[in-house]
Amino acid sequence: MMMRKEDLGLSLSLGLSQDHTPLQLIQNPNSSISNNLQRFPWNQTFASTSDLGKIDVNSLPTTVDCEEEPGVSSPNSTISSTISGGKRSEREGISEHDDITPDRGYSRGTSDEEEDGGETSRKKLRLSKDQSAFLEETFKEHNTLNPKQKLALAKKLNLTARQVEVWFQNRRARTKLKQTEVDCEYLKRCVEKLTEENRRLQKEAMELRTLKLSPQFYGQMTPPTTLIMCPSCERVAGPSSNHQHNHRPVPINPWVACAAGQVAHGLNFEALRPRS
DNA sequence: GATGTAGGTGCCCTTACGTCA
DNA sequence: CCTGACGTAAGGGCACCTACA
C-alpha cells in the first residue's frame, strides 16, 4: 500500500522563519496504530514491541544489537559509528559486523529472493505502516536523533539504525520541500499584492501630476496618501487611523513597511501567510 | 595555541524500486 | 500486461563540527 501525503496527515505550521517550525501532525484517524502509540520517552529504552503489533520489516533479520551504554549518548562517541549502521560504505565497513546480524538492510532482500548473483542490486525495503506511523510520531517530537535515540528506536521497530537514520533524513527533506512549496506560494501572493499596489500607486502618481498641472485645483485636493508609523508599537497606519498612542507618529518609507510585513496602506502580508 | 587528521553527522542530489492509475 | 507518474528507501558526495595527537 502506498503511503501518500494524506496518509501522513502532514500539515505544516509555517512561517518564513528558518528554524523549522515543528510539524503539526494530524494523525490519520484511519491509522490503526495512532491510538496505540505511546510517546517515546527518550530517557529510557523502548519498552517492548508488543504495542507495535506486527512488524514485518520485509523479513528483515532481527536483532540490532544495541545494548545501552552510558557513553552512547555522545554524538561523537565511538559507539555511534557502530550503531549508525554505516552511512557510507566506509561506515558500513566499520560497523555492524560479527554479532550484529547481517541486516545491513540497505541492499538486501529477503532470504528467499536474494543471492541473485551477488550483484549490487539494492532491494528496497518498504517500512510497514506501523513502523512509519511510529517514526512519524517520533519525528513530531524530535526531527533529529542522537545515536542513543536512533539505536533505541531501531531496536523498538526492529530496524537497523541506518534505516532509522535514513528515514529521518528523508523525512527532514520532505518537510523542507513542503515548507519550500508553501513559502513559494506565500511569496507569489506577496508579489501579486505588491504588483497590484504598485499599479495603484502609479495611477495615483499620475493623477497627482495631472492635478499639479491644474493649479486651480491644487489647493482643494486632499493630501496624498501618507504613511505613518507608531514608534512605540511600530505599526503603520494611514492618516485616518484611529491609533490611540499619544506620541508623534513617524513618517516612514512604505516599502520598508512592506518588506517587514507590516500593515501598510491596506497591505497586510500577514494575512497572506499560510496558516496551519 | 595552531594545525592536521579522523570520525560522525546532516544536507543535497541522485538512483532504484514499489505502487497506482 | 504495459507504462508513466509519483513516493520513498537508500547510495554517494560534500561540508561542517569535534576530539585528539
Q: Return the pLDDT at A185.
A: 86
Q: Return the pLDDT at A192.
A: 94
| Closest residue to C18 measured CA to C1′ | A76
Does residue A247 surpass a pLDDT of 70? no
The better pLDDT of the pair A209, A37 is held by A209
Domain-located, residue A170: yes
Degrees to nearest 5, angle at CA A144 with A273 and A37: 90
Residue A149 Cβ < 7 Å to strand B: no
> Which residues form the domain of A244?
226-276
- The answer on A30 and A127 residing in a single domain is yes
Q: Return the pLDDT at A208.
A: 92
Average pLDDT over residues A57-71: 39
Nucleotides of B under 7 A from a protein CB: 7-13, 16-20
Distance in Å from C16's C1' to A37's CA comes to 36
Render pLDDT for A265-276 as a digit per residue (tens, 0 to 9): 556 777 777 655
Domain-located, residue A135: yes
Final residue belonging to a domain, choices A178, A203, A218: A178
Domain-located, residue A205: no
Q: Return the pLDDT at A214.
A: 76
Task: Specify the nucleotide whose C1' lies closest to residue A145 (CA).
Answer: B9
Final residue belonging to a domain, choices A178, A208, A235: A178
Cα A261 to Cα A178: distance, rounded to the nearest angstrom? 22
Domain-located, residue A209: no
The pLDDT-based confidence of A217 (bands split at 50, 70, 90) is low
Phi, psi torsion values for A10, nearest 5 degrees: -85, 125
Cα A147 to Cα A68: distance, rounded to the nearest angstrom? 11
Nucleotides of C under 7 A from a protein CB: 7-14, 18-19
Render pLDDT for A38-51 as a digit per residue (tens, 0 to 9): 344 444 444 444 44
Distance in Å from C19's C1' to A31's CA comes to 45
- The answer on A126 and A241 residing in a single domain is no
Distance in Å from B18's C1' to A112's CA comes to 18
CB neighbours of A217 closer than 8 A, spacing ≥ 6? Answer: A211
Does residue A128 surpass a pLDDT of 60? yes
**Number of domains chain A contains:** 2
Render pLDDT for A98-110 as a digit per residue (tens, 0 to 9): 333 333 333 333 3
pTM: 0.57
Render pLDDT for A147-160 as a digit per residue (tens, 0 to 9): 888 888 998 898 88
- The answer on A160 and A237 residing in a single domain is no
Residue environment code for A98-115, b if the CB has 16+ CB neighbours within 10 A, otherwise e: eebeebbbbebbeeeeee
Does residue A141 surpass a pLDDT of 60? yes
The better pLDDT of the pair A78, A144 is held by A144
Domain-located, residue A23: yes
Q: Return the pLDDT at A190.
A: 94
Residue A124 Cβ < 7 Å to strand C: yes
